[in-house]
Amino acid sequence: MSRGLVLGIESSCDETAAAVVAEGRRIVSNVVASQVQVHARFGGVVPEVASRQHLTAVVPVIREAMGSIAWDELAGVAVTYGPGLAGSLLVGLSAAKALAWAQGLALAGVNHLEAHLYANWLLEEEPRFPLLGLVVSGGHSDLVLMRQHLDYRLLGQTRDDAAGEAFDKVARILGLGYPGGPAIQQAAQRGDPARLTLPRAWLEGSLDFSFSGLKTAVLRLVERLEREPGPGAPTLNDVAAAFQESVVDVLAEKTARAAREYGVRTVILSGGVASNTRLREEVRRRVTLPVMCPPPSLCTDNAAMVAACGWYKLQAGRLAGLDLDVVPSLRLDAASKRGMM
């Protein structure tokens, strides 16, 4: 008897991950091999290094996720085919295709951003449609309307840097290392955001975001503080706190505005930046609806979210062929526009 098990595989950036999820909702296994230590000394992800790390990790990670589960117990294999680094995506996709072919399994191609949204289906409560999703990761800051499963309307996106990218770049300016998000959050806890005011790009009348002006403002401010140090001057912790407040203010305000405008029933947060505790607090304070947010381990890259999304694709009969290619700049709304996937 089928238990509705889906094997998910994720390799879009610097995490090699595999997971088995039952009926899109219950995690059976969830294995993540992070390359963060390898890339930290370069201050960011080096694409070729990432691809090679995936090559060595992908088989052991899949083996560990499968544990004692037999191949014929699976309803299918789901894999991220974009967006992300081409060389990295190719490793996970090739592994998934080889398994699907050798074991005669159904294959589902998953967009990494829709996978982030589906991390919320791994929580106890089931998100209710229509819903508003905020996906904030290292490469994207998207506000998305979902009226039903696998249906995405992009309401707003970043015009320049993504929220996570801004955290990473500002952390580098402040000498806090990589990845920047958790480091800034920690520094911010020791700082006072009220000692500085940093700009917010409201882009009035639009649900788009822009964070590159803020990053430049932090750079100029830090240069000035280095030139004119003084006993009363703001500390780097104060700068980290003021930066975090500026990003959180815009993200939370636009999420609350979009939730009101589109009359949704639930707001779901996802992506690495959704592990930020101030962001979670502020969205919950400003949105009067149920706000769902996965635990940090399911906000950052993992394959359980890919398997969850894959289950709904398999249910909808949206199968991929063995000629599926990677799409490094895949858009979220391409997933609903394209009939097959």
Cα 9 to Cα 15: distance, rounded to the nearest angstrom: 10
Cα 28 to Cα 66: distance, rounded to the nearest angstrom: 9
Instruction: Give the residue carrying structure tokens 């490094």.
Output: 328
State yes or no: residue 168 binds Zn ion (CB under 5 A).
no
Cα 207 to Cα 273: distance, rounded to the nearest angstrom: 18
**Closer of 142 and 314 to ligand KG4 (Cβ):** 142
CB-based contact 278:246 (threshold 8 Å): no
Q: In the complex, what is the shortest distance from the CB of residue 38 to ligand KG4, in angstroms, rounded to a whole number? A: 16
Query: Of Zn ion, ligand KG4, none, which one sits near residue 83, judging by CB under 5 to 8 A according to partner kind?
Result: none
State yes or no: residue 4 binds ligand KG4 (CB under 6 A).
no
Which residues make Cβ contacts (< 8 Å) with residue 221, sequence separation at least 6?
196, 198, 239
Size of residue set near Zn ion by CB under 5 A: 2
Closest alpha carbon to 326 in 110, 99, 153, 122: 110
State yes or no: residue 111 binds ligand KG4 (CB under 6 A).
no
CA distances from 5 to 59, 119, 134, 299 (A): 19, 16, 27, 22
Applying CB under 6 A, which of residues 76, 109, 127, 180 lies at the interface with ligand KG4? 180
State yes or no: residue 157 binds ligand KG4 (CB under 6 A).
no
Site string for Zn ion, 263-302 (x = CB under 5 A): --------------------------------------x-
Q: In the complex, what is the shortest distance from the CB of residue 192 to ligand KG4, in angstroms, rounded to a whole number? A: 18
Stretch that binds ligand KG4, among 90-98, 179-187, 256-264, 329-337 (CB under 6 A): 179-187
Closest alpha carbon to 211 in 281, 152, 160, 252: 160
Binding site for Zn ion (CB under 5 A): 137, 301
Binding site for ligand KG4 (CB under 6 A): 13, 137-139, 164, 167-168, 179-182, 185, 271-273, 275-276, 300-301
